[in-house]
């Protein structure tokens, strides 16, 4: 079912996305100079400032592969390429993946060449997790698909579901942790843990992870490898589970859900929900959104700023805490260059001492920036610095100093920015990951989180310290003087501590820790160096903030599938509580005891073996129950050199050899494709795509050879993408034949070239400059065989595009934001039979989100053409209309009508060519809503989900400027030159074919009466 979806996706990506009229931009702000190193199995690519990260990734990759080789019981057949970026901002500029990679995407493994692409985001623990996670995908791709998308789209294998791929990657990379435990506990207790086949969104990760953990614990770890080997080369995904476990997926799902209820339901009696412990300030269920986080109380405690997606985009809101009311939205995120991203994964905002301003970090185009926002004036000041990333800001309580986390060249340290002289001072300076800085009440010290362990003295850190040998998974709380120097370690536990804050007395600290398997709030006395828990929550507490008098404390908590903010009155009066360990932590303790017992027995066995040699007789093995690989299939695989000897990739001193990157093309896909056009209907051709490792250079070849070149379709395109300005050149030859009842067989040909340069101003705005060279002809075969029309033209043009629209993956069109395009193209005098015209087209679209699934779309499309041979606009119908109807006959008797005209759609209730002219105006209005959430047919046995509905009204007109009678809008109370239609429709996503099928029924209306209904079956997205 996913195969055709992939085919359509590839077609759109390869041939359209690079320079489509609409769509947001991937901006290459930097000119990267690439290098690479090699390890035994991997090629790791990096650029300036990234050598240390590259060596770390290479070492971690090899270490991870040792485990994965055992987990999969499989050896890589090809070397895996890993592309490392110094920051998430740089990562978003990659050309390996065509789609924009928003905040929250920590890495990706693509299927064209099985490349792994990942950024460093300030934490080596996170980077280690991402490397292992993505390598699970890479090894799985190699094992199941041969390391290429080609085998999937050609139908040789069936792709595994997302929950399988992501869940297995999470399980093999970390097995289990308190975060996954929190999510599955909440899903189980709150009742939204779905059956296996419906695991999606974040539950595709943690839900799948939980399932594989359950299988490993009940059936044995080896069963995971067995399932993978049974899937390999099989079209029966469900059968692999049945064969390996003895039960099908439905039975496994029921077993797993029952086990989760047994594990988590007892927690309800022993622990409190956040709402029972504190006052709830936000309600994600009421607004039907997901995130309310990063709560920051004002010094007086009467106001709070926080991050929320309550209106669909990550934004900053101001709340009156006393009234429990949102005052207003301060910053709208994800809609402008200044606030592309608001760092919701690494939050932290701060108030000025007088409560008049706030500080926060945000992605601002090419770099991150610090923003000072004045609440009274509703204005902000931007401060940009040369960092790879900026996170977690905090304003000093008695000065104009701001602490923040700066990420630079693989190091994440604490910095201070002085607003008076705009100077920056580095507080910590080492390879360890420091985060979440907060000031002491006197403004002299900063408390923060770090993975540095016992390295509290900067002089004690070796200059060549190998971070791969460090325990960076464990984080503790530390305090440092604002001028730097020696660091005081506050906590020293084998657990994870985070989100520390000072109490007003400067002697007390609050933080969160997962000591019992759930992140609870702890209080620490700095004088006695003692700590105790003050909460016993069901899912946990995060992101603490307290007012300067210590009267109120706020925190974020995850419950019922979303994040909300809660407030505690008089937190200093909270009493110590006794915590019981979660089932997960109890299992960890039991495993630890068993490992120690095994280690002890191994030591005893070693001692005996050292004094007494034993002769071991190999046991005979019964191979009757083994499942062997398809040896014949394996021998057909082309052998490539995978493993390198150490001397090939390292110097004698142990350092990696560095190589300059060179562009080398290799194939991505070779596949038959299909597409549909208004005039020629369905057509097919063969698509071949090539690119280099970094995706900066791409070549696409489309061919449909029919007898000879004159009857064939050939399209050769090259895209140059490494710089900010993207360039493209296309050489083409199109040929289409049509049988006319009057003229017999006719053939249209058009050959030439297309040149384009696209300069993005930002993620949302760009300008495209292009020039087309066309040579179009029309031939009548049954008359005299001669060419009757030849038109040659050069068409330069320019297009400005702005697009900040918001989509969701289930949408058939944008749900919020604005899209606009201004097009200007001319056809000057080139030859004696060249058309001469200048055309302007303006397309503006505005979307209003009423709620997540209900929205209104408005569109104005207008244009005019002037000159000796002005372009004609054909108004009416809808794009990709399958059961198309024409006002008169199809216009295939003129080169001008075929190649130098514009279809203006949709105008439902009308036919193609309903109105024509060199001027056009079209207005569309749609109300989009969910129609049928889920539908299953008995026969044929098919399921449809997320069927959308739409109510629409279209009105437009087209006319010629030289018409003698002039424009006649309304005559005798009826529309004359204006055409209006209204109706309703549905949209089906046909996953087995990979496109959206639209059905509309419309009536033409002339202000007095409506016509008979017209039916429109079409494919494609809504405007």
Instruction: Give the residue-averaged pLDDT of 607-634.
Output: 33
Instruction: Give the residue-averaged pLDDT of 451-471.
Output: 90
Instruction: Give the residue-averaged pLDDT of 190-216.
Output: 95
Q: What does the pLDDT read at residue 962?
A: 86
- At 773, the pLDDT band (50, 70, 90 cuts) reads very high
Interatomic CA distance for residues 903 and 873, integer angstroms = 6
Q: What percent of the chain has pLDDT over 70?
A: 91
Interatomic CA distance for residues 738 and 715, integer angstroms = 21
Q: What does the pLDDT read at residue 387?
A: 95
What 8-state DSSP symbol labels residue 909?
Answer: T
Interatomic CA distance for residues 638 and 746, integer angstroms = 47
What 8-state DSSP symbol labels residue 8?
Answer: H
Least confident of 170-174, 407-411, 682-686, 832-836: 682-686
Interatomic CA distance for residues 350 and 360, integer angstroms = 7
Residues 247 and 298 reside in one and the same domain: no
Residues 265 and 278 reside in one and the same domain: no
Structural contact between residues 538 and 178, judged by C-beta atoms closer than 8 angstroms: no
| pLDDT, tens digit (0-9, with 9 covering 90-100), for 865-888 | 999 999 999 999 999 999 999 999
Confidence check: pLDDT of 589 > 60: yes
- At 9, the pLDDT band (50, 70, 90 cuts) reads very low
Structural contact between residues 122 and 431, judged by C-beta atoms closer than 8 angstroms: no
Instruction: Give the residue-averaged pLDDT of 72-91.
Output: 96
**Encoding tokens for residue 255?**
């077993």
Exposed/middle/buried for residue 587 (C-beta within 10 Å: 0-12, 13-18, 19+): middle
Q: What does the pLDDT read at residue 601?
A: 54
Average confidence score pLDDT of the chain: 89
Q: What does the pLDDT read at residue 677?
A: 82
Higher pLDDT, 295 or 484: 295
Residues 195 and 82 reside in one and the same domain: no
Residues 441 and 460 reside in one and the same domain: yes
Name 521's bridge partners.
512
Nearest Cα residue to 405 out of 438, 441, 366, 451: 438
Residues 184 and 139 reside in one and the same domain: no
Phi and psi at residue 592, to the nearest 5°: -60, -40
Sign of CA dihedral 621, 624, 628, 632: positive
Confidence check: pLDDT of 774 > 90: yes
Least confident of 97-101, 361-365, 511-515: 97-101
- At 957, the pLDDT band (50, 70, 90 cuts) reads very high
Rounded to the nearest angstrom, the gap between the alpha carbon of residue 183 and the centroid of all alpha carbons in its chain is 21
**Encoding tokens for residue 540?**
């946990």
- At 18, the pLDDT band (50, 70, 90 cuts) reads very low
Nearest Cα residue to 343 out of 24, 564, 103: 103
- At 149, the pLDDT band (50, 70, 90 cuts) reads low
Query: Is residue 392 assigned to a domain?
Result: yes
CATH number for position 901:
2.40.160.50
CATH number for position 456:
2.120.10.30
Residues 249 and 333 reside in one and the same domain: no
**Angle of the 178-190 helix axis to the 249-264 helix axis, nearest 10:** 100
| pLDDT, tens digit (0-9, with 9 covering 90-100), for 275-285 | 999 999 999 99
Residues 342 and 453 reside in one and the same domain: yes
Counts for the chain of helices (H) and strands (E), in that order: 18, 51
Name 927's bridge partners.
856, 951
Interatomic CA distance for residues 962 and 940, integer angstroms = 56
Confidence check: pLDDT of 123 > 80: yes
Q: What does the pLDDT read at residue 459?
A: 85
Query: Is residue 708 assigned to a domain?
Result: no
Domain of 383, in residue numbers? 274-571
Interatomic CA distance for residues 153 and 143, integer angstroms = 16
| pLDDT, tens digit (0-9, with 9 covering 90-100), for 962-1019 | 887 778 888 888 999 999 999 999 998 887 677 899 999 999 999 999 999 999 999 9
Q: In the chain, what is the greatest distance between 2 CA atoms, to the nearest angstrom?
A: 114
Query: Is residue 422 assigned to a domain?
Result: yes
Least confident of 504-518, 535-549, 657-671, 955-969: 955-969
Instruction: Give the residue-averaged pLDDT of 256-278.
Output: 94
Query: Is residue 797 assigned to a domain?
Result: no
Distances, alpha carbon 397 to alpha carbons 374, 440, 442, in Å: 17, 8, 7
Residues 91 and 177 reside in one and the same domain: no
Rounded to the nearest angstrom, the gap between the alpha carbon of residue 136 and the centroid of all alpha carbons in its chain is 19
Confidence check: pLDDT of 854 > 90: yes
Q: What does the pLDDT read at residue 593?
A: 74
Query: Is residue 881 assigned to a domain?
Result: yes
Instruction: Give the residue-averaged pLDDT of 233-244.
Output: 82
Query: Is residue 921 assigned to a domain?
Result: yes
Nearest Cα residue to 511 out of 501, 526, 525: 501
Of 3-7, 41-45, 587-591, give the range with the top mean pLDDT: 41-45
Residues 375 and 257 reside in one and the same domain: no
CATH number for position 124:
3.40.30.160
Rounded to the nearest angstrom, the gap between the alpha carbon of residue 412 and the centroid of all alpha carbons in its chain is 24
HSE-CB for 348 with a 13 A CA cutoff? 24
Interatomic CA distance for residues 270 and 265, integer angstroms = 10
- At 12, the pLDDT band (50, 70, 90 cuts) reads very low
Out of 269, 301, 334, a domain closes at: 269
Out of 506, 538, 571, a domain closes at: 571
- At 227, the pLDDT band (50, 70, 90 cuts) reads very high
Nearest Cα residue to 732 out of 746, 748, 712: 712
Higher pLDDT, 936 or 446: 446
Out of 119, 134, 157, a domain closes at: 157
Name 117's bridge partners.
83, 108
Instruction: Write out the DSSP string of 334-359.
Output: SSSGGGSB--TTS---EE-TTSSEEE
Secondary structure (H, E, C), 145-197:
HCCCCHHHHCCCCCCCCHHHHHHHHHHHHHCCCHHHHHHHHHHHHHCCCCCHH
Query: Is residue 871 assigned to a domain?
Result: yes
User: Omega into 940 within 30° of 0, i.e. cis?
Assistant: yes
Query: Is residue 986 assigned to a domain?
Result: yes
Interatomic CA distance for residues 727 and 718, integer angstroms = 8
Confidence check: pLDDT of 619 > 70: no
Domain count, the chain: 4
Residues 142 and 231 reside in one and the same domain: no
Q: Which residues of 547-574 are buried (b: 16+ CB within 10 A; e: fewer)?
A: bbebbbbbbbbbbbbbbbbbbbeebbeb
**pTM score, two decimals?**
0.90
Instruction: Give the residue-averaged pLDDT of 540-563.
Output: 97
Confidence check: pLDDT of 4 > 60: no
**Encoding tokens for residue 391?**
């996170």
Residues 470 and 522 reside in one and the same domain: yes
Structural contact between residues 206 and 183, judged by C-beta atoms closer than 8 angstroms: yes
Q: Is 48 helix (H, G, I), strand (E, B) or coil?
A: coil
Q: Is 57 helix (H, G, I), strand (E, B) or coil?
A: helix
- At 937, the pLDDT band (50, 70, 90 cuts) reads confident
Instruction: Write out the DSSP string of 801-857.
Output: EEE--B--TT-SS--BEEEEEEEEEEE---STT---EEEEEEEEEEEEESSSS-EEE
Q: What does the pLDDT read at residue 624?
A: 30
Nearest Cα residue to 715 out of 697, 734, 696, 728: 734
Residues 345 and 485 reside in one and the same domain: yes
């Amino acid at each position: 079912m996913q195969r055709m979806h992939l085919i359509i996706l590839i077609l759109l990506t390869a041939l359209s996305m690079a320079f489509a009229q609409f769509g947001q931009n991937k901006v290459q702000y930097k000119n990267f100079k690439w290098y690479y190193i090699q390890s035994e199995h991997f090629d790791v690519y990096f650029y300036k400032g990234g050598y240390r990260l590259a060596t770390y990734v290479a070492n971690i990759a090899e270490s991870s592969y040792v485990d994965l080789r055992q987990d999969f019981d499989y050896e890589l057949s090809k070397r895996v390429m890993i592309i490392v970026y110094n920051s998430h901002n740089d990562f978003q500029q990659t050309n390996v993946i065509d789609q924009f990679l928003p905040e929250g995407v920590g890495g990706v493994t693509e299927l064209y060449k099985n490349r792994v692409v990942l950024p460093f985001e300030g934490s080596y623990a996170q980077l280690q997790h991402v490397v292992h996670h993505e390598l699970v995908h890479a090894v799985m791709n190699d094992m199941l698909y041969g390391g290429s998308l080609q085998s999937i789209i050609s139908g040789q294998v069936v792709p595994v579901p997302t929950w399988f791929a992501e869940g297995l990657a999470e399980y093999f990379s970390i097995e289990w942790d308190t975060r996954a435990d929190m999510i599955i506990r909440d899903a189980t207790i709150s009742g939204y843990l779905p059956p296996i086949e419906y695991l999606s969104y974040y539950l595709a990760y943690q839900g799948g992870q939980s399932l594989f953990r359950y299988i490993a614990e009940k059936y044995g770890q080896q069963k995971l490898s067995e399932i993978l080997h049974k899937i390999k080369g099989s079209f029966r995904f469900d059968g692999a589970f049945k064969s390996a476990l003895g039960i099908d997926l439905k039975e496994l799902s029921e077993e797993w859900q029952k086990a989760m209820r047994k594990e988590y339901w007892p927690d309800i009696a022993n622990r409190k929900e956040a709402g029972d412990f504190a006052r709830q300030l936000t309600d994600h269920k009421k607004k039907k959104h997901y995130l309310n986080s990063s709560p920051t109380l004002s010094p007086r405690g009467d106001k709070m700023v926080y991050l929320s997606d309550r209106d669909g985009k990550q934004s900053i809101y101001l709340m009156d805490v006393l009234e429990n009311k949102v005052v207003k939205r301060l910053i709208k995120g994800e809609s402008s260059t200044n606030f592309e991203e608001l760092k919701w994964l690494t939050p932290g905002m701060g108030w000025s001492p007088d409560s008049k301003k706030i500080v926060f970090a945000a992605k601002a185009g090419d770099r991150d920036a610090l923003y000072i926002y004045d609440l009274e004036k509703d204005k902000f000041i931007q401060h940009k610095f040369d960092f790879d990333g900026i996170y977690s800001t905090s304003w000093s309580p008695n000065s104009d100093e701001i602490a923040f986390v700066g990420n630079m060249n693989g190091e994440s340290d604490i910095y201070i920015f002085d607003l008076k002289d705009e100077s920056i001072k580095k507080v910590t300076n080492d390879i360890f990951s420091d985060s979440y800085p907060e000031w002491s009440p006197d403004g002299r010290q900063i408390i923060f989180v770090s993975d540095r362990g016992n390295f509290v003295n900067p002089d004690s850190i070796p200059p060549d310290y190998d971070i791969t040998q460090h325990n960076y998974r464990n984080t503790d709380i530390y305090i440092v003087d604002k001028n730097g120097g020696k660091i005081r370690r506050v906590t020293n536990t084998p657990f994870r501590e985070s989100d520390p804050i000072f109490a007003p007395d400067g002697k007390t600290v609050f933080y969160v820790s997962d000591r019992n398997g759930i992140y609870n709030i702890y209080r620490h006395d700095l004088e006695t160096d003692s700590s105790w828990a003050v909460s016993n929550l069901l899912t946990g507490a995060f992101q603490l903030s307290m007012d300067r008098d210590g009267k109120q404390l706020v925190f974020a908590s995850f419950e019922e599938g979303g994040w909300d903010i809660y407030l505690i009155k008089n937190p200093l009066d909270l009493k110590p509580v006794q915590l019981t360990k979660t089932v997960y932590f109890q299992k960890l303790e039991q495993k630890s005891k068993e490992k120690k017992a095994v280690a002890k027995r191994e030591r005893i066995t070693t001692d005996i073996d050292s004094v007494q040699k034993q002769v071991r007789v190999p046991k005979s093995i019964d191979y009757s129950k083994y499942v062997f690989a398809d040896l014949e299939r394996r021998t057909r695989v082309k052998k490539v050199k995978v493993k390198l000897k150490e001397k090939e990739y390292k110097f004698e001193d142990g350092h990696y050899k560095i190589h300059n990157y060179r562009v080398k093309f290799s194939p991505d896909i070779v596949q038959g494709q299909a597409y549909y056009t208004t005039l020629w209907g369905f057509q097919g051709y063969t698509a071949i795509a090539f690119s280099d490792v970094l995706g900066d250079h791409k070549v696409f070849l489309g061919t449909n050879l029919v007898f000879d070149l004159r009857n064939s379709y050939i399209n050769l395109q090259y895209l140059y993408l490494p710089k900010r300005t993207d360039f493209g050149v296309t050489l083409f030859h199109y040929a289409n034949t049509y049988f006319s009842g009057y003229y017999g067989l006719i053939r249209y040909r058009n050959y030439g070239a297309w040149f384009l340069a696209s300069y993005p101003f930002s993620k949302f705005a760009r300008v495209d400059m292009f020039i087309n060279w066309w040579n179009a002809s029309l031939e009548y075969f049954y008359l005299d065989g001669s060419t009757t029309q030849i038109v040659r033209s050069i068409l330069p043009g320019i297009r400005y595009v702005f697009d900040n629209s918001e989509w969701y993956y289930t949408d058939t069109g944008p749900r919020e934001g604005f899209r606009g395009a201004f097009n200007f193209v001319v056809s000057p005098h080139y030859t004696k039979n060249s058309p001469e015209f200048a055309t302007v087209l303006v397309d503006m679209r505005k979307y209003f989100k009423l709620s997540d699934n209900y929205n209104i779309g408005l569109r104005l499309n207008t244009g005019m053409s002037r000159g000796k041979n002005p372009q004609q606009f054909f108004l009416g119908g809808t794009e990709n209309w399958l059961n198309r109807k024409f006002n008169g006959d199809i216009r295939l008797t003129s080169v001008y009508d075929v190649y130098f005209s514009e279809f203006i759609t949709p105008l439902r209730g009308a036919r193609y060519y309903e109105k024509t002219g060199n001027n056009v105006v079209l207005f569309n209005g749609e109300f989009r809503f969910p129609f049928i959430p889920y539908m299953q047919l008995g026969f044929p046995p098919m399921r449809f989900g997320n069927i959308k509905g739409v109510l629409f009204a279209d009105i437009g007109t087209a006319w010629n400027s030289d018409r003698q009678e002039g424009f006649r809008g309304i005559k005798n109370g009826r529309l004359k030159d204006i055409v209006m239609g209204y109706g309703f429709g549905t949209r089906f996503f046909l996953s087995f074919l990979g496109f959206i099928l639209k059905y509309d029924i419309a009536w033409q209306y002339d202000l007095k009466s409506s016509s008979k209904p017209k039916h429109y079956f079409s494919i494609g997205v809504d405007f």
